[in-house]
């Protein structure tokens, strides 16, 4: 294993120190925690809290800031943060307007965030939740009951964050977030596995001419191994799966997220985007906006995912609203 770290045990602590020292204009660390919060807390609005295991950077701490999250809880690598840590995040950013938890659909995350929610409610804090399940690869997995939450979560952060920044009520922000979840789908593929520092070896093995289709973001294998294809064929395969679950037709307006998994050159993501654009517009749909880059990674995994979000007037307005965070600006 070759990694630029000091030790697996201190990795997350040192990462968060580097983050806050590098970007103090955006974020600060809540004392005695692995919680990253907005440097300048905005009072009087619904606060958004998300998070999960580390190893997905810039998710989720990179999306803390104006127009997106108010706090991110950073668990150990690929391991859910504890309820106590999530509760610290809620306490740090709570307002009279309430707190919305945005949870990716992994069993540990759901259980721990819900337990923190109960702790907050016991203290009189108004809290609601949404669970993101955008992955169309598998219905159930080792980590989930139902679909997994992956890169589409970033689009939930963006649109729900804008709704909160605009002053909508907790109930209204929750409804906007649920609308995004209902209209976003993601599918990914990998050229290789990642290596969790504490494990010291890749999570699965691929031959030189193989790719993994439908992988998760925790180093778990996908749904099928197959021979590597041209980029255009891989993009078509991923979009076919997305459109089988959520058809896109003429007149639809969508946002597209071309997400790198940590080890994919921008050159290759741009090639994937060119084909994705051709396929989507070939259906008569309009691409309102595209984001290309690393948003929800899997340490150093090479590969990419595609997320397609169908927009309506409301979600489009919030998608276009200002965001100013470390990893997302609009």
Catalytic positions: 56, 218
Q: How far apart are CA 197 and CA 148, in angstroms?
A: 23
Buried b (16+ CB within 10 A) or exposed e, 229-247: eeeeebbbbbbebbbeebe
Residue at token pair 């399940």: 133
Beta pairing, strands 71-77 & 184-190: unpaired
The dihedral sign for the CA sequence 71, 76, 80, 82: negative
Q: How far apart are CA 294 and CA 327, in angstroms?
A: 9
Please name the residues in contact with 328: beta carbons below 8 A apart, sequence gap of 6 or more.
58, 62, 63, 68, 154, 157, 158, 291, 295
For 315, the enclosing helix (H) or strand (E) is helix 313-319
């Amino acid at each position: 294993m070759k990694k630029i770290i000091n030790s697996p045990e201190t990795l997350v602590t040192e990462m968060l120190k580097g983050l806050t020292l590098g970007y103090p204009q955006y974020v600060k660390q809540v004392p005695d925690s692995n919680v990253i919060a907005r440097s300048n807390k905005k009072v009087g609005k619904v606060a958004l809290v998300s998070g999960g295991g580390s190893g997905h950077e810039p998710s989720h701490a990179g999306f803390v800031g104006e127009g997106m999250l108010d706090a991110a809880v950073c668990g150990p690598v690929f391991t859910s943060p504890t309820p106590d840590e999530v509760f610290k995040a809620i306490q740090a950013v709570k307002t009279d307007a309430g707190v919305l938890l945005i949870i990716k659909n992994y069993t540990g995350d759901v259980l721990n965030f819900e337990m923190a929610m109960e702790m907050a409610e016991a203290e009189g804090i108004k809290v609601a939740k949404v669970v993101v399940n955008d992955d169309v690869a598998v219905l159930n997995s080792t980590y989930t009951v139902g679909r997994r939450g992956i890169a589409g979560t970033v689009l939930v952060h963006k649109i729900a964050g804008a709704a909160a920044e605009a002053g909508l009520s907790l109930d209204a922000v929750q409804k906007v977030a649920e609308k995004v979840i209902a209209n976003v789908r993601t599918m990914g593929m990998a050229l290789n596995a990642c290596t969790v520092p504490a494990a010291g070896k890749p999570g699965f093995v691929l031959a030189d001419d193989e790719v993994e289709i439908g992988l998760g973001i925790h180093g778990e294998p996908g749904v099928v191994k197959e021979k590597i294809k041209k980029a255009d064929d891989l993009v078509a395969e991923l979009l076919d799966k997305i459109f089988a679950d959520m058809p896109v037709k003429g007149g639809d307006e969508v946002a597209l997220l071309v997400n790198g998994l940590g080890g994919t050159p921008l050159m290759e993501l741009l090639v994937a985007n060119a084909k994705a654009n051709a396929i989507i517009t070939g259906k008569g749909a309009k691409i309102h906006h595209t984001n290309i880059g690393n948003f929800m990674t899997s340490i150093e995994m090479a590969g990419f995912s595609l997320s397609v979000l169908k927009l309506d007037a409301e979600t489009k307005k919030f998608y276009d609203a200002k965001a100013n965070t470390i990893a997302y600006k609009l």
